Structure 1
Amino acid sequence: MQNDLENQYLNIKNQIPIGIQLVAVSKNHSVEQIEIVYNLKQKVFGENKVQELVEKYEALPKDIEWHLIGHLQTNKVKYIAPFVHTIQSVDSKKILIEINKEALKNKRIINVLLQVKIAEEESKFGLNISEAKEIYQEYLNENFPNIKINGLMGMATFTDNKNQVKSEFLKLKKLFDELNQLGNLETLSMGMSDDFKLAIDCGANSVRIGSSIFGKRLYN
């Protein structure tokens, strides 16, 4: 297993241009698997469930940069506020207010990305474009002093239609560029195992890759 995992990780890593952040999505994978990838100098990992993230944080080296990439409920923020590096899935003003509150309690500034709904699928979470603009303006007005909005995150429609995926990525890139003229955004997170190359071509500087590194997920 170790050799396969190492080879899969290095294969993906070699396809990521210098300057593009790789978030290794380790959800539903074991601490032992994460350690193998960590020992190849991967330091940024993404989880989408709070309980699993907390358990892995406690079990693994403390220099790992943990990203929460799944939908976050307000009552769960307190569990990750002491240590999470970035919350990529801010999809409402309500959750932003809660993150700000818990960051203050922990005397921290928490990095977040605004998740924008670019996919047609109803199951996807995210702000619409006007909501994202409104929240970002409030942030620039210093309404959330314990938060740093670092950028935007989006998930394209799960489809074989590459033209549709490309148009969704470019829609998010356009919004990123607009907001970047108002403030100073760093991260445009879009693209996963099946579409990360297209996402990079469309301007992504952070990609979230799980199955191409770790293989199929193991569900309990």
Structure 2
Amino acid sequence: MAIQENLKAIRATLPEHVTLVAVSKTKPNTAVLDAYEAGQRIFGENKIQEMTQKWEELPKDIQWHMIGHVQRNKVKYMAPFVSLIHGVDSFKLLKEINKQAEKLDRTIQCLLQMHIAEESSKFGMDQEELLTVINSDEFNAMKNIKINGLMGMATFTDNKNQVRKEFRYLKSIFDSTKDLLPQSEILSMGMSGDYKIAIEEGSTMVRIGSSIFGARNYNQ
């Protein structure tokens, strides 16, 4: 019951225009089903193998979002079912997603991941790379991907001003590229520890795990 109570409490804090992705990585199917029974239909995973197993075993009206770093050689495993790929951090990855989607005659929805944190370990493009990609003829010729918006992760820090500054920077990139990306409606930023700041700075999609399911199992 705790999962359902946590979900209810979090939903009460979210404006109508903000979509909740319940981050179920490392969590068992029983936990996903608890959230599902409370009405949650969008779940985020960071490992393709785990997400694929859950897709095979759990209700088919669940939308699976890939929120982790994606290796190009594994795109084919999720291409048949993934609803949204958050972390598209390179043109090479985007080309592979388009290629696998074309084989399946489907369009895969993607978010372009921007590097906004001070931590070098975070993935993502800078603004110059982003503009190079979306202005290229090759990008504009891709028919089997749909860029729905941008995603970014703030620095893991207690300094709320820094987090706010990074989210604000991402929002400015999002606004400045809307003309180049006419289908761009999603700004995915904010997790359990910082989603309220992210919403204040313009987020339309938050990725929340531990506040719903409890602490992550780091052994997995």
Report the TM-score range of the alignment, normalised by the length of the smaller protein.
Answer: over 0.9
| Residue in 1 that maps onto 2:206 | 207
| Residue in 2 that maps onto 1:119 | 117
Name structure 2 gaps, 5 residues minimum.
none
| Residue in 2 that maps onto 1:166 | 164
**Aligned residues of 1:140 and 1:183 also touching (Cα < 8 A):** no
**Aligned residues of 2:147 and 2:181 also touching (Cα < 8 A):** no
| Residue in 2 that maps onto 1:149 | 147
Q: CA shift at 1:139, angstroms?
A: 7.2
| Residue in 1 that maps onto 2:216 | 217
Q: Tell me the amino acid that sits aligned with residue 108 of structure 1.
A: R
| Residue in 1 that maps onto 2:132 | 134
Q: Tell me the amino acid that sits aligned with residue 14 of structure 1.
A: A
**Aligned residues of 2:107 and 2:146 also touching (Cα < 8 A):** yes
Paired residues for 1:171-186 under 5 Å: 171-184=169-182, 185-186=184-185
| Residue in 2 that maps onto 1:16 | 14
| Residue in 2 that maps onto 1:108 | 106
**1:139 and 1:18 mapped to 2: Cα distance?**
37
2:168 alignment partner, SS class: helix
2:27 alignment partner, SS class: coil
**2:53 and 2:77 mapped to 1: Cα distance?**
11
Q: CA shift at 1:136, angstroms?
A: 2.0
* Alignment CA distance shift 1:6-1:180 (3 Å): same
Name structure 1 gaps, 5 residues minimum.
none
| Residue in 2 that maps onto 1:197 | 196
| Residue in 2 that maps onto 1:94 | 92
Cα displacement string for residues 8-62 of structure 1 (whole angstroms, at most 9, x for unaligned residues): 1111111111111000000010101000101111111000001100000001111
2:65 alignment partner, SS class: strand
1:180 alignment partner, SS class: coil
**1:166 and 1:46 mapped to 2: Cα distance?**
23
1:203 alignment partner, SS class: coil
**1:182 and 1:75 mapped to 2: Cα distance?**
29
Task: Using the TM superposition, name which of 50-59 and 136-145 deviates more.
Answer: 136-145
1:89 alignment partner, SS class: strand
1:188 alignment partner, SS class: strand
**1:91 and 1:194 mapped to 2: Cα distance?**
23
**1:104 and 1:54 mapped to 2: Cα distance?**
20
**2:190 and 2:122 mapped to 1: Cα distance?**
14
**Aligned residues of 1:25 and 1:47 also touching (Cα < 8 A):** yes
Q: CA shift at 1:138, angstroms?
A: 2.9
Task: Using the TM superposition, name which of 176-185 and 18-27 deviates more.
Answer: 176-185
**2:60 and 2:11 mapped to 1: Cα distance?**
22
**1:139 and 1:147 mapped to 2: Cα distance?**
14
**2:96 and 2:138 mapped to 1: Cα distance?**
18
**Aligned residues of 1:189 and 1:205 also touching (Cα < 8 A):** yes
Aligned Cα root-mean-square deviation (Å): 1.2
* Alignment CA distance shift 1:51-1:139 (3 Å): farther
